[in-house]
Structure 1
Amino acid sequence: MDRPVPTGPAAPDLTILESRVYRGGNIWSYDPSIHLVVDLGVLEAYPTDTLPGFTDRLVELLPRLENHTCSKGVKGGFIERMRTGTWLGHVAEHVALQLQQEAGHDQRRGKTRGVKGRPGVYNVIYGYSDEGVGLAAGQLAVRLVNHLVQEDPELDFAAELELFLTRAERTAFGPSTSAILEEAVSRDIPYIRLNSGSLVQLGQGVHQQRIRATMTSKTGALAVDIAGDKDMTTRLLASAGLPVPKQETVRSADGAAAAARRIGFPVVVKPLDGNHGRGVCLNLTDEQEVRDAFVVAEGESRRGYVIVESLVVGRDYRCLIVGGRMQAIAERVPAHVLGDGVHTVRELVETTNADPRRGVGHEKVLTKIKVDAAAEALVLEQGFGMDDVPPADTMVKLALTGNMSTGGISIDRTFDAHPDNVEIAEEAARVIGLDVAGIDFICPDIASPVRETGGAICEVNAAPGFRMHTHPTVGEPQYIAKPVVDLLFPPGAPSRVPIVAVTGTNGKTTTSRMIAHIMKGLGRQVGMTSTDGIVIDERLVVKADASGPRSARMVLQNPRVDFAVMEVARGGILREGLGYDRNDVAVVTNVAPDHLGMRGINTLEQLADVKAVVVEAVPRDGFAVLNADDALVRRMRRRCSGSVVWFSLAEPGSTVRDFVEDHCRRGGRAVVLDRTERGDMIVIRHGRRSMQLAWTHLLPSTFGGTALFNVANAMAAAGAAFASGAGLHEIRQGLRTFTTSYYLSPGRMNQINVHNVDVIVDYCHNAPGMRVLGEFLERYAAMKAGQHDLGKISRIGVVSTAGDRREEDMHELGAVAAEHFDVVVVREDERLRGRERGFTAEHVAAGVRSRMGEEGVRCRQVEVVLDETAAVRHVMARANPGDIVVLSVDQHAAVMAELESMTKQAQPGTHTQDSVGDPDLDPGALVEEAREAGDSAARDVDSPAPTA
C-alpha cells in the first residue's frame, strides 16, 4: 500500500528520552552497548524518502556512511534503505556509529526497535569503545538528524564534529596502551580501565596485571627512579663499560658554563629528570649559549638540576628492550619540512600538519609540528625566515631532537642493527633494571659497531612510547605488544578466574552462598556479590545491595580472588548489563512474578528474557545450571552455547523427570531427587553414571528436608560446583556444613529460639516466595507437632514487600500469607520507593482480608505495624511458648539484634517492671506498646486475636 506523502514537518522534535550504558552483556547485545530511548515526535510520520534531499545532505556530511551495509548485507545497503524509506531513529543509530568511526573507534553493531505500545518511540542500541564518546555520538547524531530535517542556525556541524573528535582524543587510549590492549584482547585476556587515563588492569582477580601506558606491574619503582635521574643512569652505564657521553650535573648557569669548559664544546644541556625531549638544547658552542640553555632546561626540570654533557654527533636511534631482549629499533628524524621552491616554510608546516595521521600530543601516530619561538630561531639559524620559500628538496628543521612528541618522524631500523649494538642496548636495560626500556643511541649508523665508529647511549627511558615502532613513518611496523603481554602472561598462564553467575526470582542469594561455601572448602579464595554486599574470602567488605555489575567488577579487581560467585539481579542487567564479558557457569533458579511493571518488563516472558542474559553469557566450554521444573527456565536451554545441567525436584515417571532422564541418556548432566522409604536422596547424574550425594534431611539448610526450596537451592549449588570441577566429596561436605545460621546466611531462613518461641527470619518479599515459605511452614509445623506435645501451635507472620511493586502483587502477597498464618502483621520497608507511608501496608493487608473467612484459610486477624522493629516487638510480645513466628525482614541485622536482646530479657508473662503484658488478652496494650516504640500508625484491624 502506498504511503501518503506529507508536505513536511512543522518542526523536527526527535528527542532522547532516556540513555543507558551497558558495560557487559545485556538484553540487546552480547557486547557493551549504548541504549537510547528516542521519541520521533512528529517525525514518526516522515520516513527518509518523504524528506527531499535529506539522504544526499547526510552523505555529503558523512560520506563514509556509504560503507554501512545495514540489513542489506552489502556496501551501500544503508544508503539504499534511506532512499527507499526508513525511520529517523534508525538513521540516528547509523550516524552515532559513523561518528565514532570518525574518531577512530571501529564500531559497526547496532539495532533500532520500536517500543511496544508507544508509537513513535524507539530503542536505539549501538556499540561503543569509550562510553563518554559513545554517549556524545548519540547526542550529536540526534541533533544532526533534526538539523537536516529543518536547519538549526545554532548548529555548526563542522565545529561540533571538531569538538567531538577533540573530546574523543582526550579520553581515548594512546597508541602504546591501545597496542597492548589489542594484543591482550586477541588472546582473550579481559581488561578493566581503572581511571580516565592509561591505568588498566589486564586479567581478573588473582591473575591480574596492571599497565600504565608501557609501564607494567613488573616494572621496578627503583629502576624507574634511576632512569629518571639521567646523571645516575650515566654513572651506572659507565661503570658497566657501556659507551656514554661525558657529563656533569649543575644547578646554576655559572656552573653550567664551567662544566661546559671542562667537558669541551660543543655540548648538550638538558634537564636531569625531563622527558619527551622537552628542555633539551643541542650543539651549544659557547658559554653564553650554555647559560641561555640552562634557563630553558631548568624550566623543564622537576628538581631544578640540569645536565651538561658532551655532544655526540650522529643519527638518533631508539632501541626498545622488552624482558631483556631487543624488540624494535627506530631512527628518529626531527620535525622538519622539505622545500618545494613554491611554498613558504609556514605554508609547508601547515601542509605537513594537515596529514590526518598527525594529532595533538600522543593521540595519533604522529604529532603536529609546533611553531614556537625556538622553532623560528632554529629556522633562522638555517638561513630562512618562516615566510621564506626554501629551494626544492631542502630540509628545514623545526626541532633539534627527534622525539615524536615534538613532531618528528620515525624510520624502522629493527633488522639493520649490528649485533654489538643490540647487545649494548640489552645490557643497558639490564643494568638499570627495567623490564620495558627505551634506549636512546646517538651514532653515525646503527648498522656499524658504536665502539668503533663512535657514539653513545644518551638516555634510558622508562615507559617508552610504542608508536614510533607500531606506526613508523617509513618501514614495516613492529608488533612489540606481543612480548609485553608475554612478559605479563607467559604462554599457558591463566588470566581469568572462574565466574559463576546466579540469577532467578527467589533463592539466588542462598544458592550463591552455598556455591561459595563449597568452593571455600576446596581452598579457593572466593569473591561473592549478593544483595547483602560484597564478600571476599568470607569477609563482608562492602555492605550494600551488591547484585549489580559495578559490584561484579569490584570482585574481579580484587587481587585475592581466584573464584567468583556473582548474584545477578534483574535491575542490574536492565540498568548496566553484566559487569563482565562472560561467565563460566550460569545458574537460573526460577522465574516468578516479581518486579513486573518496572523498566518496561510487564510479563513473565519478558522477565525470563532478562534472566536469560547470564545464560547467553556462557561460552562453548561453559555450563548453564537450569531448573527443569520451571517451564520458562527450560526454554533458556536454546540460548546456551555451552552444556546444560538440569536440576529437578520432579518425581520419577513425571513428564519433567522423563525429560531430564532423556537428557542424561544422551550424555548430559543433571541433579535429581530420588525419593525412598529412608528419605529423599540428592543424586548427580552424568550420562549413565548415577552418584548419590546426600540425604536431604541431613542437610542443615533444609530443616530436616521440610524446606524444599532450600533442597532445590542445594541441588542448583551442587550442579554449579560439579560443573566447576568440584569433586563429589567436596560438594557433599560443603552442603553438610552449610547452615542457615546468621553467620553463613544472614537474612535467609535464620532460626532463633526466643523464650521457647520458634522464630524464623527470612527475606521473603513476594507472593511466589511466600507460597513456598508457607508450604515449608506446613511441613515444619507438622514435624514439630509430631516431635513435641505442645497442643495447638499458632503461626504468626510479619510480611511486607517493596513499595515499587504493582498493587496487584502487594494484594497477592497478602492473600497467600493469609493461607498459612493465624495472625498476619503487615509492616513497611524503611525505603518507601516512591510510595506514601502506609500505602504498601494497606494493600498487603487488603489482600489478607480478601481471603479471611474462606475455607482452608488460617488467618483470623490482620494488623498493621509500619515500623519494622516495632513489628518485631509486637509479634514477640503476643507469641506463646511453642508458637512459630516468621519475620520477613528488610534490615535483617537490626531485627537479629533485637531478637538477641530479647533472649536476655525475662520470659514473657513474668511481669517485670518492663513487661508489656499479654496482647492476646489486651489488644489495646499491643497498640500502646507499638506507639511507645515510635510508630503511631500501629493499629489493630478486624477481629480480636484468637487465643493461642
Structure 2
Amino acid sequence: MQGSPTTGQLKVLRTRVYRGPNIWAYDQAIHLLVDLGELEAFPTDKLPGFTDRLMEWLPGLEHHTCSRGHRGGFVERLREGTWLGHVTEHVALQLQQEAGHDMRRGKTRGESGRPGVYNVIFDYFDERVGVSAGELAVRIVNELLVSTAEFEFQDELDRFLRAAGRKAFGPSTAAIIDEAVSRDIPWHRLNQYSLVQLGQGVHAQRIRATMTSRTSALAVDIAGDKNLTATLLGSAGLPVPKAITVRTAEDAAEAATKIGYPVVIKPLDGNHGRGVILGLASEDEVREAFPLAADQSRRGVVQVESFITGRDYRCLIIGGRMAAIAERVPAHVIGDGEHTIEELVDTTNADPRRGIGHEKVLTRIVVDDAAVELVREQGYAMSDVAPQDEMVKLALTGNMSTGGISIDRTFDAHPDNVEIAEEAAQLIGLDVAGIDFICPDITAPVRETGGAICEVNAAPGFRMHTHPTVGEPQFIAKPVVDLLFPPGSPSRVPVVAVTGTNGKTTTSRMLAHIMKSLGRKVGMTSTDGVVIDERLVIKADASGPRSARMVLQNPRVDFAVLEVARGGILREGLGYDRNDIAIVTNIAPDHLGMHGIDTLEQLARVKAVIVEAVPRDGYAVLNADDALVRAMRRRCSGTIVWFSMEPPGSRVREFIDEKCRRGARAVVLEPSDRGEMIVLKQGRRSMPLAWTHLLPSTFGGTARMNVANALAAAGAAFAAGAPLHDIRQGLRTFTTSYYLSPGRLNRVEVNHAEVFVDYCHNPPGMHRLGEFVQGYVDQRQGAAEHRISRIGMVGAAGDRRDDDIRELGRAAAQYFDVLVLREDDNLRRRAPGVAAALVEEGVREAMADGARCRQVLTVLNELEATRHAVHLANPGDLVMLCVDQHGAVLAELESFTHQANAGARTDDEQPGDPDLDPQQLATEATEASAVEDTEWREVVDAQPVGAKLVE
C-alpha cells in the first residue's frame, strides 16, 4: 500500500500492571495491548516526516540501543521501518527517563492470530508514572500521525512531568530505597506518599522519608518543642541561644527586651524554616513579626531567642555518629550589572535542578512579600539592576525548601563541633537527627567563636547532602540502612511458591505443617484464605499476588508458603520479586480456553513463572513424571529437586538416577515387601524417610495423589534446610482432618457410612480421586458384609469449556455407582442448570460405553444434593462429595450427627463442633464466594504467552 493513512489511530485495548515476575518479563512491567488497525500496513519508513518530528520532540531517543546493541540503534530501526507498537514502547521508556526514572528495557510482540494487534511491554519504577507514560506515548504517536489543535506537546510533557514529580519519592526516600536495592533488600510502597516497607516478614522495617521504625516518638515530640530542646541541651552544657516561649505579641516584645536585641522569632513547633524571622532589632519589629511566626505554629506558641550571627550549618547525625555536614546559603541572586533582580530570579528558577517543593534537588525561589521587603532592606527594588557580583538575599534562613543552596562541609568541621552535634542527637534520642549550628566558621570550635545549636530536627532532609550545590555528594543512605539492617542481618524470609493443576493446596499445607513443627511462624496463602501462624485471617480465594504481598508484609511471618494460581500470574504477575523454592506439582487440562490459554504448553509457560523466579541459590521442586514440568528445568537458574512416583527401572527413574549420580537431589519411592518407602536422594546418598502406608494423609497408601504431594513437600522442606527427623515427623502427623486440610479428603462418618469431602473439580483430579476410591474400597471390601456402593456428588465450574465439563462427567462415571450432580453458587455467567446438564451428558455417554455408573440424578443446590447423596447410602457404603463450599457442606454433615443423637441428649448436651456451626459457615461460604467472584471478574482476557524481557 502506498501513501499514508489519513484517519488511522493507535488504540489501546487493555492495560495491565505486573507487580513482579510474569509471563513477559522477569521484573515488574507495564503491558499495553494495542491495535494498529490500518496502520499495520504503515511502518515508520512509510510515514513521511514521522521520525524527524518524533526526534525533535524526544531527542533522548537517540540514546536507545534497541536490538542493535549500540547507541542510535532505535533511530536506525525508525528510518528502516518499524511498527508503531514498537515506537510506543520506546516513547514510554523515554518519557519515564524524562521524569528521572532510568527505565531501559522493553519489548513488543505481535498477538498470535490477530494481525495488527501488538503486546507492548516496558519497565517501570512507579506504576502510576509508568501507566501515565504509556497513555501519553500512545497520544504522542497518534498526534504525529494526525495533528490536532488541542494537543500541544510541550504542555503535555510538562503536565506529565509535574504529575510524575508529585507521585515520585522525595530525594531522601529515594536515596534510602536506592541503597536498599543495591543490597538486595526488597521494598514495597505502603501508601501514595513516602511510607515504605523495607524487608519482609519478621525482618521488615519501615521508613517515612528519614523517619524509621527505630525513631523514638518521644524524641520526635521533644525535637518538635524548640523550647524543651534548648532546655535539655543547655542543661547538658551544650551551646544554645537564650530562649523564651510566648503566646502574644506583647509577651514577645517583653521577652525580646529581656533577652537583648537582636532576636529571632520562630514557631515553637514549625519546620522547613517557615515562620522564622531573624535579626529583629526593636519592639515594633517583634510585634510585627509575631503573627507570621504564630501562623506557622500548630499550637500558637512562639519562641523568642537570641540572634546568633554566623553561617548556617546542618550536621546530619545517624546512629549517634556524624554522617555529613552542609553549609546552607539562603535563597539569593548574584547581580550582573545588566538584568533586574526579578529577571535574575527567573533565570535562577529556570535551572532544571529546581522544582516545586521537594520534587527536585533544589527548590524554586518564591518571591513573596517577605522577599520583597528583604530586598528593599538591602537598598533595592525587584525592578532594580544589582551591581556586578553583588549578592542580593531573598530569604534570611538557609533552608533548601525556601530556595537555598548547600555547600558540602563534611570534612571541614572541627572535631569539637562534631562531638557537640553527636551529643545533642543522643540527648534528644533521635536515630536520625539534623543539628542546626549557627557559627562564624564550622572549622573552629563554637565554644570559642560564639556559635550555638539553634535547632534539632527529626526526619531531616537528605537532599542538601546527597545533591549539594557545591562540593561532593555524601552517601548518607548507607548508615541509615545499616541502622535498620546491620551488615550480615537478613532482610528476607524464605519464600516457597507452589503451583500446578492439582495438589498445590495440600502440598502447601503439608509443607507449612512441617515447618511449623520446626517452630517457624508460617504465613500461607491458598484457595481457602490467608493463614498466619495457623490462624485463618482472611477467608477467600487467596492464591493471587495481593494475598502474597499481605503475607510478606506481616511482621510475624518468618517463613512463607504461597499457593500461586495461573489467574494471578496473568493478572498481576507474582506480586513479589523472587521465591527461594518453587514447587510445580503437575500440568493437566484445566482452565483451558480462558484468557488466551488454549493449550497445555501455554499453561505450562504460565506456571513456569515461579520456576523462573528462583535465584541461583534457590531450588525448584519438579514432578519428573510430568513431561511439561520436567521441561521447566531449562528455565531454572537454581538447583533442581526431582520427585517421582515411578518405580525403579522406569525411564523416568533412570533419568533421575542419572541426575543424582551427578549430584542432584530427588525424592522417590522404593518398593519392598513391607511397602513403599519415601527416600531422599542426594548425589549417591539415599536417606529413608517414611513408609507411605503409615502416613495418615494417604489412607494406607491408597490416596496416591497425597503420596505425590508428600514427595513434593518433603523435597521442598529438605531444600529449605529442615532436618530429616522433622520432615518425617511432619508427614506422620499431617492428616486430612478439617482442621489441617479443610476441603481436601476430609472423612466423616454419617449413619455408619463413610463420607469424604473434597474440592475435586476437573477431569484429571477426578481420575486421581476415583483411583483413591477404587483402592480404598478394595482395601475395605474383604472385611465388609456386603458389596460397598460408591456414591458421588459432582459439580463443574461454569467457566470451563463445554468439552471439559462433559469430560468431568465421563471421568466420574468410571468410578461411582450413583452420581448426584450439583452446581456451584457462582455460575460463572452460565444459566442455572446448564453446567449440570453438560456433566450429565458426559456421564450418560460413559454409561452408554459401559462405565460403572448405573444411576445419575441432578440436584442443583449443593446442600440439598449433599443431603440426597447421604440418604442414598447404606451403612458401610462410601460417599464422595466433590464440593464448592466445603465449610457449609461439613456443617450440614455435622447436623446429620446431631439429628442421629438428638433423642439421647438434651439441647444443652448436643454433640458437634462449634467451628462447624451450619448457619455461620453458610454465611462465610456466601461471603467467600462473593470475594472469589470479584477476583475472578478482575481476570480479563490474557495475552498469549511470550518470551522473556531482555536488554
- What is the CA distance between 1:272 and its match in structure 2? 0.1
* Equivalent residue number for residue 245 of structure 1: 241
Alignment of 1:848-859 (within 5 A): 848-855=843-850, 857-859=851-853
2:341–2:383 CA contact under 8 A, matched in 1: yes
Alignment of 1:90 with 2:68, yes or no, is: no
- What is the CA distance between 1:10 and its match in structure 2? 2.8
Alignment of 1:522 with 2:524, yes or no, is: no
1:755–1:907 CA contact under 8 A, matched in 2: no
- Match for 1:887 among 852, 875, 881? 881
Alignment deviations for residues 148-191 of structure 1 (CA, whole Å, 9 cap, x no partner): 01112222221111111111111111000010011111011111
Alignment of 1:177-192 (within 5 A): 177-192=173-188
Question: Helix, strand or coil for the counterpart of 2:610?
Answer: helix
1:853–1:860 CA contact under 8 A, matched in 2: no
Alignment of 1:905 with 2:899, yes or no, is: yes
* Equivalent residue number for residue 634 of structure 1: 630
- Match for 2:571 among 558, 571, 575? 575
- 1-side partners of 2:832 and 2:393: how far apart? 76
2:262–2:279 CA contact under 8 A, matched in 1: yes
* Equivalent residue number for residue 944 of structure 2: none
* Equivalent residue number for residue 755 of structure 1: 751
- Match for 2:57 among 43, 48, 61? 61
1:315–1:444 CA contact under 8 A, matched in 2: yes
Alignment of 1:804 with 2:789, yes or no, is: no
* Equivalent residue number for residue 40 of structure 2: 44
Q: What amino acid maps onto 1:816 in structure 2?
A: A
- 2-side partners of 1:125 and 1:298: how far apart? 53
Matched residues, number = 904
- 2-side partners of 1:656 and 1:908: how far apart? 55
* Equivalent residue number for residue 941 of structure 2: none
- 2-side partners of 1:9 and 1:654: how far apart? 62
- 1-side partners of 2:840 and 2:297: how far apart? 74
Q: What amino acid maps onto 1:841 in structure 2?
A: A
* Equivalent residue number for residue 920 of structure 1: none
Q: RMSD of the alignment, in Å?
A: 1.1
- 1-side partners of 2:788 and 2:901: how far apart? 18
Alignment deviations for residues 372-410 of structure 1 (CA, whole Å, 9 cap, x no partner): 111111111111111111111111111110000000000
* Equivalent residue number for residue 555 of structure 1: 551
Q: What amino acid maps onto 1:795 in structure 2?
A: R
* Equivalent residue number for residue 644 of structure 1: 640
- Match for 2:492 among 491, 496, 500? 496
Alignment of 1:203 with 2:199, yes or no, is: yes
Alignment deviations for residues 744-796 of structure 1 (CA, whole Å, 9 cap, x no partner): 0000110111011111100100011001111111111100102x223121111
2:325–2:465 CA contact under 8 A, matched in 1: yes
- 1-side partners of 2:17 and 2:223: how far apart? 41
Alignment deviations for residues 469-488 of structure 1 (CA, whole Å, 9 cap, x no partner): 00000000000000111111
* Equivalent residue number for residue 860 of structure 1: 854
* Equivalent residue number for residue 836 of structure 1: 831
Alignment of 1:547-626 (within 5 A): 547-626=543-622
Question: Helix, strand or coil for the counterpart of 1:303?
Answer: coil
- Could you list the runs of 5+ residues in structure 2 that have no partner in the other structure? 905-951
* Equivalent residue number for residue 826 of structure 1: 821
- 2-side partners of 1:154 and 1:729: how far apart? 72
Alignment deviations for residues 17-56 of structure 1 (CA, whole Å, 9 cap, x no partner): 1111110010111100001111111111111110000000
Q: Percent identity?
A: 73
Alignment of 1:160 with 2:164, yes or no, is: no
1:877–1:908 CA contact under 8 A, matched in 2: no
- What is the CA distance between 1:853 and its match in structure 2? 2.9
* Equivalent residue number for residue 484 of structure 1: 480
Alignment of 1:813 with 2:805, yes or no, is: no
* Equivalent residue number for residue 341 of structure 2: 345
- What is the CA distance between 1:907 and its match in structure 2? 8.7
Alignment of 1:874 with 2:863, yes or no, is: no
Q: What amino acid maps onto 1:850 in structure 2?
A: E
Alignment of 1:742 with 2:738, yes or no, is: yes
- Match for 1:404 among 366, 388, 400? 400
- 2-side partners of 1:401 and 1:212: how far apart? 25
Q: In 2 relative to 1, CA 247–47 (structure 1 residues): closer, same or farther, beyond 3 Å?
A: same
- 2-side partners of 1:908 and 1:84: how far apart? 85
* Equivalent residue number for residue 322 of structure 1: 318
Q: What amino acid maps onto 1:292 in structure 2?
A: E
2:18–2:573 CA contact under 8 A, matched in 1: yes
- What is the CA distance between 1:870 and its match in structure 2? 0.8
Alignment of 1:130 with 2:126, yes or no, is: yes
Question: Helix, strand or coil for the counterpart of 2:891?
Answer: helix
- 2-side partners of 1:475 and 1:909: how far apart? 90
2:173–2:194 CA contact under 8 A, matched in 1: yes
- What is the CA distance between 1:12 and its match in structure 2? 2.1
Alignment deviations for residues 335-355 of structure 1 (CA, whole Å, 9 cap, x no partner): 001111111111111111111
Question: After TM superposition, where is structure 1 displaced by more than 4 Å over at least 4 residues in a row?
Answer: 907-910
Q: What amino acid maps onto 1:585 in structure 2?
A: I
Alignment of 1:713 with 2:709, yes or no, is: yes
Alignment deviations for residues 693-719 of structure 1 (CA, whole Å, 9 cap, x no partner): 000000000011001110000000000
- 2-side partners of 1:669 and 1:790: how far apart? 47
- 2-side partners of 1:583 and 1:749: how far apart? 29
* Equivalent residue number for residue 932 of structure 1: none
2:784–2:876 CA contact under 8 A, matched in 1: no
- What is the CA distance between 1:57 and its match in structure 2? 0.3
- 2-side partners of 1:255 and 1:559: how far apart? 50
* Equivalent residue number for residue 945 of structure 1: none
Alignment of 1:437-476 (within 5 A): 437-476=433-472
Alignment of 1:259-274 (within 5 A): 259-274=255-270
* Equivalent residue number for residue 74 of structure 2: 78
Alignment of 1:114 with 2:110, yes or no, is: yes
1:628–1:647 CA contact under 8 A, matched in 2: yes
- 1-side partners of 2:31 and 2:606: how far apart? 15
Alignment deviations for residues 233-264 of structure 1 (CA, whole Å, 9 cap, x no partner): 00000000000000100000000000000001
- 1-side partners of 2:665 and 2:102: how far apart? 41
- 2-side partners of 1:387 and 1:395: how far apart? 15
* Equivalent residue number for residue 909 of structure 2: none
- 2-side partners of 1:533 and 1:152: how far apart? 51
- What is the CA distance between 1:580 and its match in structure 2? 1.0
2:523–2:557 CA contact under 8 A, matched in 1: yes
1:511–1:713 CA contact under 8 A, matched in 2: yes
- What is the CA distance between 1:877 and its match in structure 2? 1.5
- 2-side partners of 1:598 and 1:79: how far apart? 39
- 2-side partners of 1:110 and 1:536: how far apart? 37
- 1-side partners of 2:592 and 2:671: how far apart? 36
- Match for 1:512 among 508, 522, 528? 508
- What is the CA distance between 1:908 and its match in structure 2? 13
- Match for 1:539 among 535, 540, 543? 535
Alignment of 1:428 with 2:424, yes or no, is: yes
- 1-side partners of 2:358 and 2:869: how far apart? 68
1:417–1:447 CA contact under 8 A, matched in 2: yes
- 2-side partners of 1:888 and 1:543: how far apart? 20
Alignment of 1:221 with 2:217, yes or no, is: yes
- 2-side partners of 1:458 and 1:909: how far apart? 84
Alignment of 1:337-376 (within 5 A): 337-376=333-372
Question: Helix, strand or coil for the counterpart of 2:15?
Answer: strand
Alignment deviations for residues 200-256 of structure 1 (CA, whole Å, 9 cap, x no partner): 111100011111100111110000000000000000000000000001000000000
- 2-side partners of 1:896 and 1:107: how far apart? 52
Greater shift in the superposed pair: 384-393 or 582-591: 384-393
**Which structure is higher in RCO with an 8 Å CA cutoff and minimum separation 6?**
2
- 2-side partners of 1:863 and 1:337: how far apart? 89
- Match for 2:785 among 780, 785, 790? 790
Q: What amino acid maps onto 2:382 in structure 1?
A: M
- 1-side partners of 2:333 and 2:28: how far apart? 44
1:321–1:426 CA contact under 8 A, matched in 2: yes
- What is the CA distance between 1:909 and its match in structure 2? 15
- 1-side partners of 2:565 and 2:680: how far apart? 27
Q: What amino acid maps onto 1:230 in structure 2?
A: K
- 1-side partners of 2:843 and 2:153: how far apart? 62
